[in-house]
Chain A
Amino acid sequence: EPEVTQTPSHQVTQMGQEVILRCVPISNHLYFYWYRQILGQKVEFLVSFYNNEISEKSEIFDDQFSVERPDGSNFTLKIRSTKLEDSAMYFCASSLRGSGNAGELFFGEGSRLTVL
């Protein structure tokens, strides 16, 4: 069964360092998302991506964050200068249809980011 894969599963970094989290969405999906979940808390939307551009982003997704789909298969989230409060589990998701068209999201297993 097709699945969303994420790497790394866990990354530890020093505050101020750049981090890139990678995702390989399901191959025929068209919509891509990043969410994050601070331990034990709600799943927060960061950004959605469609047709090679950001379609929506949250207040969390400030200038320190960027996304790319460099080669038609990978979907990356870059945090330019990490802060302690960026420590969280980051989930990539993809869907064939948009949410308004009953698009079901398929999530990866997450990348745990620990900022020291």
Chain B
Amino acid sequence: SQQGEEDPQALSIQEGENATMNCSYKTSINNLQWYRQNSGRGLVHLILIRSNEREKHSGRLRVTLDTSKKSSSLLITASRAADTASYFCATDKDGANSKLTFGKGITLSVRP
């Protein structure tokens, strides 16, 4: 089964607007993480939310987790052109301790 499917696949917004990205997954998890990738670069960890948490904030980032729906959302508030990147959610499997599985990613374009 596919873990970590994000939607939409692409999102284009104006600078200053909020960007909301969603992720769905299929199996029970220990935690869910969001990563960012600038074009041609490595992935950078943004935020982690544990399965017993419902919401978490970090600066302009807000992540929610609904384990009953097996879904998460990442909200970037007051977007900037520098937020233009691909965003990936990543999940582990409950009980496992060896790998994160990444989704296909969302391409966010923030127009100045």
Give A contacts to B, CB under 8 Å: 4, 31, 33, 35, 41-45, 48, 50, 55-56, 91, 93, 98-102, 104-110
B31 at the interface (CB under 8 A from A): yes
Distance (Å) between the CB of B106 and the closest chain A CB? 12
Q: Could you jot down 15 A-B contacts, CB within 8 Å?
A: A31-B98, A42-B105, A43-B88, A45-B99, A55-B97, A98-B98, A99-B31, A99-B98, A99-B100, A101-B97, A102-B31, A105-B90, A107-B35, A109-B42, A110-B42
> B41 contacts which of A33, A35, A106, A110 (Cβ < 8 Å)?
A110
List, in ascending order, chain A residues with CB within 8 A of B99's CB. 33, 45, 48, 56, 99
Q: How many Å from the CB of A92 to the closest CB on chain B?
A: 9
Asked if B44 is at the interface of the complex by the 8 Å CB criterion, the answer is yes
B102 CB contact (under 8 Å) in A42, A50, A98, A110:
A42
CB-defined contacts of B103 to chain A, threshold 8 Å: 42
Q: With a CB–CB cut-off of 8 A, which chain A residues contact B30?
A: 99-102
Q: Which of B19-38 contact A (CB under 8 A)?
A: 30-31, 33, 35
